[in-house]
Structure 1
Amino acid sequence: MSGSHLSRRQFQLATVAGVLGCCSPVSSAEKHKGFIDAHVHVWTPDIKSYPLDQAFDVGDMQPTSFTPEELFRHTKPSGVDRIVLIQMSFYNFDNRYMLDMMAKFPGVFGGVGIVDHQAADVAKQMKKLASAGVKGFRLHSRGGSAAQWPSDAGMKTVWKTAADENLAVCPLINPEELPHVDSLCKQFPKTKVVIDHFARVGISGQVEAEQLKTLCSLSRHQHTHVKTSAFYALGKKQPPYTDLEPMIKTVVDAYGADRLMWASDCPYQVQGDHTYEASIALIRDHCQFLSAEQKSAILRGTAEKLFF
């Protein structure tokens, strides 16, 4: 019986070791072993604290609320424990809600903000947001504005600042606007670029070969990445989205899995017949041409490098 008991000295040593073990810092890799969703929007119905931009009203908020707590109901059952928040258009250049949610859930959220590239102090704005944890900046192409990007002084400042500060630019564009991004990639070869939603190739209902070819041609720029995302809006627009597998394979062949990242584009992915699980399952469970290592890169590794 005596052999089953610790001596007083052994007990003291074991207690100290246990305390030290409990207090030892946990690395990010140990804390976060789940998947990363590289593209999600959140907003709050509290428009008094977080007013909408003048271009939007409450009727534009569909659903009326999509807070982090509502988001987690979808992400956690699918094994997603980190998420990249994309500044919502409702708030335009007012990034406060996104920043507040990043602060409320430290380590869970990365951030992609929006700045006015025509502002005289745009570089200062970018650096200030970066100090709060923002790792990228979204570029909207509204009304054909992308055609002016390669010659716009403010846009050039955005791309140069991003390169200097190790930040990413994240264009939300249509297929016909890819050449404008290509031009900027040539001007700023060190800038990290993350193209949202396959540049919307396939949004017409079918994947156009020439559009896909143009998207893949940007892979020659070594810092250009693509989000394999928004499956609900591309191709047949029906789960399980396996009709998109040939496009995904073509993009993997061009870029390599280490320059691709999966994203849901919530809350739009969880409306109607579309579910969060169906989105992640396309990469995780289908796409048999992907190795385990490639799936790991797309579902976690690439986004981790850029946004965490």
Structure 2
Amino acid sequence: MDNADVDFAIVVHPEPYQDDHRYLEHCLNVGQGRLKGTCLFFADRPGSVEKMAPLVQRNPGRIVAARVHAYASDRLPPFGTKELRHLWKTASDLGLAIQLHFEPRYAPGLEPLIQEFTDTTVIIDHLGRPMQGTPEEHEVVVRWSRFPNTVMKISSIPDQNSYPHRDVQPIIRRLTDAFGAERMIYGGGFNSGATGESYRDYRLRVADLLSHMSADDRTKILGGTAAKLFGFTGS
């Protein structure tokens, strides 16, 4: 973070750790106020959602969102059930956002809860995964911009040299037109081999993809909007 000139960041708790958040809490302690995190619990796993409140209470102001995955076909959330609504409501009552990581084909199953919980911010991960669906399926996600509580995250930028070989630039232009800089945030190029230089290079790539926008709007997307959304000091 220091080498890449990053003041604050969100640690997105990954699915391999399931609902065990010990490593996340370790990271938050190491971060000393520069890091906040997301959590992951399972609507259809007995006792999982009940762990959410204690985690948030142990880490006041440091857990900002609960993540919902609808990506792997064998681990889908229970769409249309009271259990998924209970997870969503629990996060909402705790003041958390909902962070959605999904393939576009599963978007219709999530939309009713976005509409019901209008005061709960919904963060859409990785551009809504446009390359993991058809343009028609992803258009459902783009139309979520009509819900004022939705925020689009620019992250995991797909490589047009890989399948399905679609140019991401028109997709990003469509999303920026739909959501605007006030409802878009940047997710950085962090991985196991990341360096300060590689992170800066990735940020420059994203800035280039936003070259159709004003400098002020690019600044919002590359940090300003997230600082306000997640309540970082100095925002």
Q: TM-score range by the shorter chain?
A: 0.7 to 0.9
Asked if the contact 1:200/1:234 (under 8 Å) is kept, the reply is: no
RMSD over aligned Cα atoms: 2.7
73, 79, 86: which one aligns with 1:143: 73
> Displacement, 1:217?
0.5
Partner of 1:59: none
Matches within 5 A, 1:274-289: 275-289=198-212
Cα deviation, 1:114-152, whole Å, max 9, x if unaligned, reads 112235555542222222121111112232655732x22
Cα deviation, 1:81-112, whole Å, max 9, x if unaligned, reads 21111112232111010111101212211101
> Displacement, 1:185?
1.1
Partner of 2:37: 111
Aligned length: 223
Asked if the contact 1:135/1:307 (under 8 Å) is kept, the reply is: yes
CA distance in 1 between counterparts of 2:226 and 2:103 reads 22
Please tell me whether Structure 1 or Structure 2 has the larger radius of gyration of its CA atoms: 1
Partner of 1:195: 124
Partner of 2:161: 236
Higher relative contact order (Cα pairs below 8 Å, separated by 6+ residues) = 1
Matches within 5 A, 1:173-212: 173-203=102-132, 208-212=134-138
Asked if the contact 2:12/2:38 (under 8 Å) is kept, the reply is: yes
CA distance in 2 between counterparts of 1:183 and 1:130 reads 25
Residue 256 of structure 1 pairs with residue 180 of structure 2: yes
Letter in 1 for 2:109: H
CA distance in 2 between counterparts of 1:86 and 1:281 reads 22
CA distance in 2 between counterparts of 1:193 and 1:268 reads 27
Give me the TM-score of the superposition, normalised by structure 1.
Answer: 0.65
Matches within 5 A, 1:1-308: 75-119=1-45, 124-131=50-57, 132=59, 133-141=62-70, 142-143=72-73, 146=76, 148-149=78-79, 151-203=80-132, 208-231=134-157, 233-236=158-161, 243-264=167-188, 266-267=190-191, 270=194, 275-308=198-231
Give me the TM-score of the superposition, normalised by structure 2.
Answer: 0.83
Letter in 2 for 1:101: C
Question: Quick check: 250-259 or 298-307, which moved more?
Answer: 298-307
Unaligned runs of 5+ in 1: 1-74, 238-242
Letter in 1 for 2:38: V
Letter in 1 for 2:14: M
Asked if the contact 2:68/2:98 (under 8 Å) is kept, the reply is: yes
Unaligned runs of 5+ in 2: none
Change (3 A) 1:224 1:260: same
